[in-house]
Amino acid sequence: MLPRAAGASAGSDMSPSSSGRTLFFFEKPSAMRQLQRFFRSPNTVCVAAEGHLLSAEEPGSIRPEWKPWRFDALPIKLATIPVSCGTNRSGQSHEPKIAAIRQALSGVERVIIATDPGREGSMIAWEVLEHLGWRGRVDRLKLGALDDVSIRRAFAALAKEPGSGERDYAAYLEALCRQYEDYHLGLNGTRAISLRLRPPAFREPWRFGGVQTPTLAILADLEERIRSFVPQDFFKVALHLGTQSGAALTLWHAPKERIFDAAIAETIRTAAAAWSGPLAVEHKDVRRAPPRLFSKDTLARRCAKRFGWDPQHTAGLAQELYDQGYLSYPRTESEYLPEGQVSDAAAIVDAIATVLTDLRDVVPGGEAPLIRRGAKGHYVKDPGEHHAIVPLRKVPERSRLSADQFKLWELVAKAFLAAHLPDGIDARTSVMAEVGTPLSAKRFALSGSVIRAPGWRAIYGSEAELEADVVPGKAKREAEATSARLPLVNDGEGASAMGANVATAMTEPPRRFTRGELPVVMGRLIDQVDDPVVKRALENPVNPNEPKGLGTAATRDTILPKLLKSRYITLASGKDPAIEVTEIGRAFMTAVRRVFPAYGDPVGRALFEAELAEIGRAATRAEAIERADAFRQRTRAPG
């Protein structure tokens, strides 16, 4: 049995005709217009859904006794989720649109789904086809981008994939199972925890969700570490030197294992103050490779950091640019491109240069772009279901885009240019002294660097060093002491201490995640855990570049607004505000972990989501149905 009854409310079975007519099912009229240029056959019919046309019915409309919130009515379990015609943003029913699609299907032999490539796009089309009882052939046109070259490639791939509809049905069932679980968890969890565990002082319902609750658990655990943090003093030792050639400089002893004992720091200082000896000077070139391309989550993080944008605003802009044919599909987990697109690089670089004309000197025409392959580069054999977000041959006129649309396109375009330019090279000089102490020999050091060749960094100018992203929530590792300008010192040159002192610093609590960082945290839990066993569990053998995480790229940016609405969190001020868990949120998580511990475990949830993804990987419709039915039975089982 399927998670939702196929055609249950349609009242008829729509069988295909032998007319040779084909219906293209689009998600939006804009995409439909882009593709209609490629076929003008009288045997072609096009429809556009404009989003989900069906919505799940409320429990009270299914059974009257489920409308009031009563604990003795729980758990509410449904074999399938009844659906009905939804409404648009203006409150108008989608019933006329569904009726029009029913009429368009009459006399059709084949349906080609041309919605956005992804689970949600698949579901938008399949749920209507199932609702109307369509029983004919279905194929899937996978549009990774809406420029002419990408559209032609998609049609060529369609011709080579006779089973594309079968595999797409599996993606639909995965999306349906996600909805099925969300529906039951939200329905039963929200009612149960609100009726039995919510303190009387909290009047709002305690909303419960399969993804939002484990996400809140991550935030609550971090909040607890911050609130319970006790700062400690630690010490660094400065050695002030004079060299034989008359130069003066200060070296530092600041080991990664911090010095917390003042007596130890004083012992090292005393030895340093009496030191004399040769300096070790090392010169080496340090290569700096360009950063990775953007996934949906990393693009959201960068835009939050640079522009102060909410991740949902970034997602909306990226979708608009995709719909207009200027960017590739934006709801992606990947930061890589397929090796098959290497040949596109030169044409895209040239196209970008026609818009970003101030970069023509940085990207000289006629030169082949630099291609980096492998996990440390940008092109891999299998980048995942959808490759990184990149610009296309079709480039915008600045006047045709809003200011924010152009900012986003320019950010993605510059990342693409940087990926195809040479490494930056820095000339780095390190000056070191080894000081013997009663404890052991201690290293004092100072370094400095100058840019020998800017490479890709010429794209960004003075912004280049601001582009680096540290792991969210983790403190930036203390760098070795640096100086903008080092005096001329030769290797082996003698030097003597002119003094030494101890500097005191204080440990800092963990840093709160920001609004822009949260989707990255959800998608890369592997970066937030230290246990090697847990790290291995979160690895993804199917695609090592995309470890197991919470939610999907398409939905992660919807979680924070839900947590805000429930008053579980608040946002601080600033361009990319930090997230703080409220007392309501902390009380809610304490209650959840007492009665539903599995939903307070983000790692366990990530592993469960990986099982869900196996439904979408089924090779045939029959296999997908079997997996979906097993999932439904397991999630409905007691306990």
Measured in degrees and rounded to the nearest 5, phi and psi for residue 580 equal -120, 135
Instruction: Report pLDDT digits (tens) over 95-105.
Output: 999 999 999 99
Residue 607 contacts residue 548 (beta carbons within 8 Å): yes
Same domain, 37 and 115: yes
- 3-state class of 146 per DSSP? coil
Q: How many Cβ atoms sit within 10 Å of the Cβ of residue 401?
A: 19
Residue 435: which CATH number? Answer: 2.70.20.10
Q: How many Cβ atoms sit within 10 Å of the Cβ of residue 286?
A: 12
Same domain, 169 and 49: yes
- Decide if 16 is inside a domain: no
- Partnered with residue 313 across adjacent β-strands are none
Contacts of 478 (CB under 8 A, 6+ apart): 254, 256
- Tokens at 512, concatenated: 């709160």
d(CA 170, CA 141): 15
Domain that holds residue 502: 233-289+424-506
First to last CA, the chain: 22
- 3-state class of 338 per DSSP? strand
Q: How many Cβ atoms sit within 10 Å of the Cβ of residue 367?
A: 11
d(CA 623, CA 632): 14
Peptide linkage before 75 cis (omega within 30 of 0): yes
Contacts of 606 (CB under 8 A, 6+ apart): 214, 525, 538, 548, 549, 550
Q: Write the burial class of residue 413 (CB in 10 Å: 0-12 exposed, 13-18 middle, 19+ buried).
A: buried
* Buried-exposed string 606-627: b where 16+ CB fall within 10 A, e elsewhere: bebbbebbebbebeebeebbeb
Same domain, 38 and 182: yes
Same domain, 317 and 396: yes
DSSP codes, 97-120: HHHHHHHHHTT-SEEEE-S-SSHH
Same domain, 282 and 428: yes
Same domain, 123 and 141: yes
d(CA 415, CA 418): 5
The pLDDT value recorded for residue 361 is: 86
Same domain, 347 and 493: no
C-alpha count within 13 angstroms, C-beta hemisphere, residue 94: 20
Residue 145: which CATH number? Answer: 3.40.50.140
Choose one of 490, 506, 522: the last residue of a domain: 506
- Decide if 6 is inside a domain: no
Q: How many Cβ atoms sit within 10 Å of the Cβ of residue 485?
A: 6
466: left (phi over 0), alpha (psi -120 to 50) or beta: alpha
- Decide if 1 is inside a domain: no
Residue 410: which CATH number? Answer: 1.10.290.10
d(CA 411, CA 305): 12
Instruction: Report pLDDT digits (tens) over 494-536.
Output: 999 999 999 999 999 999 999 999 999 999 999 999 899 999 9
Same domain, 200 and 304: no
Same domain, 538 and 588: yes
Mean pLDDT by groups of 10 residues along the chain of 639 residues: 43 66 92 83 88 90 89 87 88 92 93 92 95 93 91 91 91 92 87 88 87 96 96 96 94 94 97 96 94 96 96 96 94 94 94 93 83 94 92 94 97 97 94 95 93 92 62 67 79 96 94 96 93 91 86 92 96 96 95 90 91 89 92 69
430: left (phi over 0), alpha (psi -120 to 50) or beta: beta
Contacts of 231 (CB under 8 A, 6+ apart): 506, 507, 508, 509
Q: Say what angle helices 311-323 and 403-419 make with each other, to 10 degrees.
A: 80
- Decide if 553 is inside a domain: yes
Same domain, 302 and 219: no
- Partnered with residue 426 across adjacent β-strands are 286, 451
The pLDDT value recorded for residue 11 is: 46
Q: How many domains does the chain divide into?
A: 4
Residue 580 contacts residue 193 (beta carbons within 8 Å): no
Total residues belonging to the chain: 639
Residue 355 contacts residue 405 (beta carbons within 8 Å): no
- As a whole number of angstroms, the longest Cα–Cα distance in the chain is 97
DSSP codes, 517-536: THHHHHHTGGGG---HHHHH
Residue 219 contacts residue 569 (beta carbons within 8 Å): yes
Looking at residue 373, the DSSP 8-state letter turns out to be: B
Q: Say what angle helices 583-595 and 212-227 make with each other, to 10 degrees.
A: 120
Same domain, 225 and 176: no
d(CA 40, CA 33): 12
628: left (phi over 0), alpha (psi -120 to 50) or beta: alpha
* Buried-exposed string 534-555: b where 16+ CB fall within 10 A, e elsewhere: ebebbebeebebbbbbbbbbbb
Same domain, 151 and 33: yes
